[in-house]
C-alpha cells in the first residue's frame, strides 16, 4: 500500500475518500455492463432468438463461477483490509498468496466435476430444443475456462482491498475492452457464434488475471502471489469463509433466482425469456453503478472498522445520500428512453413492448436495491458473518414462494412484479439487522439508521 492509498484510507475528506474507492469500481462495473449489452447486441445481429435465449440461460452458470471467485476474493479482500487497518502486514501476505492458489485449485475442481455432467447441466438450465446446442457450446467453454474466470474475480477483489482502486478499474476495463474486440472478431470475422462469445470471455479474463498478478508481484508492497507465502491456518480459513461463504451463497441464489425465473418464463415462450434477457442487461447498467459504489467502499469501511469507527459512520452516511441521488437520476433517464433502448437489440414490436414493461417495473426498486447492497457490504466489511449470510439468502427465499403465488394469480405480470417484492423484503430485513447491530458496529450509529 503506497502513501496515497493510505491517505485515502485514513485522512482524506469523506467525499474524496468515497470517490477514490467507488468511482473506479463504478466505471469498471459500467464497462462490464456495456460488454454484457454489446454481447447480446453482437449475437442479436445474427437474428437468432435461440442464440439470445442460450445467452440468457447460461447466466446462472456464470453466476456460479463468479460466486466461487467472490468466495475467495471477497472473503480474503475484506480480511486483508481489516488486517491493514491493524497494520498486520505479515498475515496480509499469507492471505493474498492463499487467495491466488486456492482460486486455481477451485477452478480445476470445477472442470473435473462438471465436464462429465455437461448434458444434465444444460438441461437443468432450462434449454429448449431450439437453444440446446447453443447453450451446450457456451457451457462447455465456460467450464473449461473456469480457473481463469474464478482467478479474475479473486484478484480484482484483493487488489482493491489495499486501496488500489485505479489498478482494479484498469484490470476490469482491460478485460471488458478485450472481450468486446474478441466478440466482434469471432462473430463477424470467424463466424464462431456462441462458442466464440464464450471463448472471448475466458480469454479476456485470463489476460486481466495476468495483469493483476504482475501488479501484485511487482508493485504491491504487502500483497503477493509468491508460493513461499502460501499458508493455510485456522485464522485465514475462518475469516475467509465467514465472509466468503455468504457472498458465495448470495451469488448462487442470484443464479438460482435467474434459473427459476427462466423456468417460469418458459411457459410464456422464447420471446418472454429473450425480452427479460435484454431488459435485465439494460437494468444492469444502473444496478452495477450502484453496486460499484457499494462494493468499491467495502475496503474503506473494513479498514475504518478496525482503525477509526467514527470515520466509518461518516462514510456510510455519505454513501446513503449518494445512492439516493444516483438512483433517482438513473431511474428517470432509463424510464424515459426504455423503448429506444430495447429497440437497439431487436425490431420485434412484441419484444420491445415486453422488454420495456419489465424495465419500468423493475426500476421501481432501484433505490432500495442500492441500500440492500450497502447493508450487505457493511456486514461483509465488519465481519458480521451471520448477518451477511442472512442477507445472502433472504431475497432468494422470498422470491420462490412469491414467484409461485404471483404467477398463479397474475401470470406474466406477477412473475415480473415478484422481483420488486423480493427486493423490498430484503431491504427491510437488512435495515432491521443493521439497527440491531448498531451498538456492535459503532456505539453512536443510532442516528444513521433511525
Q: What is the pLDDT of residues 219-247, one digit of tens each?
A: 888 899 999 999 889 999 998 988 888 87
Q: Is 263 exposed, middle or buried (0-12, 13-18, 19+ CB in 10 A)?
A: middle
Helix 146-161 and helix 132-144, axial crossing angle in degrees, nearest 10: 60
- Distance, CA of 78 to CA of 381 (rounded, Å): 6
Among all chains, which residue has been given the C-alpha cell 492463499?
Answer: 98
Written as nine digits, the cell of 190 is 470467424
pLDDT at 130: 80
- Distance, CA of 305 to CA of 347 (rounded, Å): 51
Written as nine digits, the cell of 162 is 489495499
pTM: 0.77
Confidence of residue 268 (pLDDT cuts 50, 70, 90): confident
- Distance, CA of 52 to CA of 45 (rounded, Å): 10
- Distance, CA of 43 to CA of 131 (rounded, Å): 13
pLDDT at 448: 41
Read off the pLDDT of residues 248-265 as tens digits, 9 standing for 90 and up.
877 777 667 767 777 787
- Distance, CA of 74 to CA of 158 (rounded, Å): 7
| pLDDT greater than 50 at residue 419 | yes
Residue 323 main-chain phi, psi, to 5 deg? -60, -45
Do residues 355 and 342 lie in contact, with contact meaning Cβ atoms separated by under 8 Å? Answer: yes
Conformation bin of residue 336: beta by default, left when phi > 0, alpha when psi is -120 to 50: alpha
- Distance, CA of 432 to CA of 124 (rounded, Å): 36
Amino acid at each position: 500500500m503506497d502513501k496515497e492509498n493510505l491517505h485515502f484510507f485514513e485522512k482524506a475528506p469523506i467525499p474524496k475518500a468515497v470517490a477514490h474507492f467507488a468511482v473506479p469500481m463504478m466505471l469498471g462495473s459500467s464497462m462490464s455492463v456495456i460488454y454484457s449489452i454489446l454481447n447480446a447486441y453482437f449475437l442479436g445481429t445474427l437474428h437468432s432468438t435461440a442464440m439470445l435465449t442460450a445467452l440468457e440461460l447460461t447466466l446462472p452458470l456464470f453466476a456460479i463461477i463468479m460466486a466461487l471467485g467472490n468466495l475467495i476474493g471477497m472473503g480474503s479482500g475484506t480480511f486483508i483490509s481489516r488486517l491493514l487497518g491493524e497494520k498486520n502486514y505479515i498475515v496480509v501476505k499469507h492471505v493474498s498468496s492463499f487467495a491466488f492458489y486456492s482460486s486455481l485449485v477451485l477452478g480445476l475442481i470445477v472442470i473435473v466435476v462438471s465436464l462429465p455432467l455437461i448434458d444434465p447441466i444444460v438441461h437443468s438450465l432450462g434449454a429448449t430444443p431450439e437453444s440446446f446446442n447453443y447453450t451446450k457450446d457456451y457451457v462447455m467453454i465456460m467450464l473449461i475456462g473456469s480457473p481463469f474466470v474464478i482467478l479474475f474475480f479473486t484478484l480484482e477483489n484483493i487488489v482493491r482491498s489495499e486501496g488500489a482502486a485505479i489498478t482494479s478499474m484498469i484490470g476490469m476495463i482491460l478485460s471488458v475492452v478485450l472481450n468486446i474486440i474478441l466478440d466482434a472478431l469471432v462473430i463477424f470475422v470467424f463466424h464462431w457464434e456462441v462458442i466464440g462469445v464464450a471463448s472471448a470471455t475466458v480469454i479476456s479474463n485470463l489476460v486481466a488475471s495476468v495483469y493483476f498478478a504482475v501488479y501484485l508481484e511487482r508493485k504491491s508492497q504487502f500483497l503477493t502471489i509468491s508460493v513461499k507465502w502460501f499458508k493455510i491456518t485456522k485464522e485465514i480459513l475462518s475469516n475467509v469463509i465467514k465472509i466468503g461463504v455468504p457472498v458465495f451463497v448470495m451469488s448462487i441464489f442470484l443464479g438460482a433466482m435467474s434459473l427459476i425465473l427462466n423456468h417460469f418464463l418458459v411457459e410464456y415462450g422464447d420471446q418472454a425469456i429473450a425480452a427479460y434477457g435484454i431488459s435485465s442487461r439494460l437494468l444492469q447498467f444502473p444496478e452495477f453503478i450502484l453496486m460499484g459504489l457499494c462494493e468499491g467502499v467495502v475496503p474503506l469501511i473494513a479498514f475504518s472498522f478496525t482503525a477509526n469507527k467514527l470515520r466509518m459512520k461518516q462514510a456510510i452516511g455519505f454513501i446513503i445520500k449518494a445512492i439516493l441521488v444516483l438512483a433517482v437520476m438513473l431511474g428517470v433517464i432509463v424510464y424515459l428512453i426504455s423503448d429506444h433502448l430495447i429497440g437497439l437489440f431487436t425490431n420485434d414490436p412484441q419484444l420491445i413492448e415486453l422488454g420495456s414493461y419489465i424495465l419500468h417495473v423493475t426500476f421501481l426498486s432501484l433505490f432500495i436495491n442500492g441500500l440492500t447492497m450497502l447493508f450487505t457490504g457493511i456486514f461483509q466489511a465488519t465481519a458480521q458473518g451471520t448477518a451477511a449470510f442472512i442477507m445472502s439468502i433472504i431475497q432468494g427465499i422470498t422470491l420462490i414462494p412469491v414467484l409461485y403465488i404471483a404467477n398463479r394469480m397474475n401470470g406474466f405480470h406477477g412473475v415480473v412484479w415478484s422481483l420488486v417484492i423480493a427486493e423490498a423484503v430484503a431491504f427491510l430485513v437488512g435495515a432491521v439487522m443493521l439497527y440491531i447491530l448498531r451498538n456492535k458496529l459503532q456505539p453512536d450509529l443510532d442516528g444513521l439508521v433511525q
